[in-house]
């Protein structure tokens, strides 16, 4: 299977690889996927509590090129967004941006789950209710 240029670009030059201090109240961590499924994503956000803006985002991913690219792209998109804006990121936008083939759509779903999970971790740390997903993936 041939990868799109954008997937290759993110794979070769991944943006925002790294680890944020998960003990900080301003940091939300999402860990999704499972080793036996062949992909695990960890996505972290750091939120400015005054403005509610995501000021930093980092990821680490175990998975195929499409999974790495999806999470790398997600961190790029997250930076500078408010929590509400971040929640609007839809997996199909990732599919479109990276030109993922149908067999790789689950990578984008995983990235969306990771964003949501990181936001909910941040909310839980700050005494807020988790946001339920209205979306059901097939």
Partner 1 sequence: MLKLPVYLDNNATTQVDPRVFEAMTPYFLEAYGNAASKSHPFGWKAEEAVDYAREQIAQLIGGNEKEIIFTSGATESNNLAIKGVFEMYASKGNHIITLSTEHKAVLDTCKHLEKLGADVTYLSVGGDGLVTKEAIEAAIKPNTILVTVMYGNNELGVLQPIREIGALCKSKGVLFHTDATQAVGKIPVDVMADHIDLMSFTAHKMYGPKGVGALYVRRKNPRVKVTAQMDGGGHERGMRSGTLNVPGIVGFGKACEIARLEMAEEGARLQKMRDRLEAALLQLEESYLNGNKTHRLPHTSNISFKYVEGEGLMMGIKDIAVSSGSACTSASLEPSYVLKSLGLDDELAHSSLRFGLGRFTTDEEIDYTIECVSGAVNKLRDMSPLWEMFKEGIDLKTIEWSEH
Catalytic residue numbers read: 37, 107
Long-range contacts for 54-59 (Cβ within 8 Å, ≥24 apart)?
A: 54/78, 54/79, 54/80, 54/81, 54/82, 54/83, 54/86, 55/79, 55/80, 56/16, 56/20, 57/16, 58/16, 58/17, 58/18, 58/19, 58/20, 59/14, 59/16, 59/17, 59/18, 59/114
Q: Contact with partner 1 (CB under 8 A): which of 68, 78, 86, 94?
A: 68
> Which one-letter DSSP state was computed for residue 19?
-
| Residues in CB range of 38: below 8 A, 6 or more apart | 63, 64
Work out whether 19 is an interface residue with partner 1 (CB under 8 A).
yes
Q: Which stretch binds partner 1 (CB under 8 A): 20-28, 81-89, 105-113, 124-132?
A: 105-113
Q: Could you say whether residue 121 binds partner 1 (CB under 8 A)?
A: no
Q: Which of 6, 9, 11, 123 binds partner 1 (CB under 8 A)?
A: 11
Q: How far is the CB of 135 from partner 1 (least distance, A)?
A: 13
94 near partner 1, rule: CB under 8 A? no
Should residue 34 be labelled a site residue for partner 1 when binding is judged by CB under 8 A? Answer: yes
Structure tokens at 42: 């960890």
- Of the pair 59, 77, the CB lying nearest partner 1 is at 59
Residues engaged in binding partner 1 (CB under 8 A): 3, 8, 11, 14, 17, 19, 31-42, 59-65, 67-68, 103, 106, 109-110, 113, 117, 137
């Amino acid at each position: 299977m041939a990868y799109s240029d954008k997937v290759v670009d993110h794979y070769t030059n991944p943006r925002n690889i790294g680890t944020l201090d998960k003990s900080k109240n301003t940091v939300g961590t999402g860990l999704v996927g499972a080793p036996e499924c062949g992909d695990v994503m960890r996505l972290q956000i750091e939120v400015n509590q005054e403005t509610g803006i995501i000021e930093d985002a980092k990821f680490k991913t175990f998975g195929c090129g499409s999974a790495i690219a999806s999470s790398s792209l997600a961190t790029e998109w997250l930076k500078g967004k408010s929590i509400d804006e971040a929640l609007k990121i839809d997996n199909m936008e990732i599919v479109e941006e990276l030109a993922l083939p149908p067999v790789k759509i689950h990578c984008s779903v995983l990235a969306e789950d990771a964003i949501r999970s990181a936001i909910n971790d941040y909310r839980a740390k700050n005494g807020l209710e988790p946001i339920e997903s209205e979306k059901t993936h097939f």
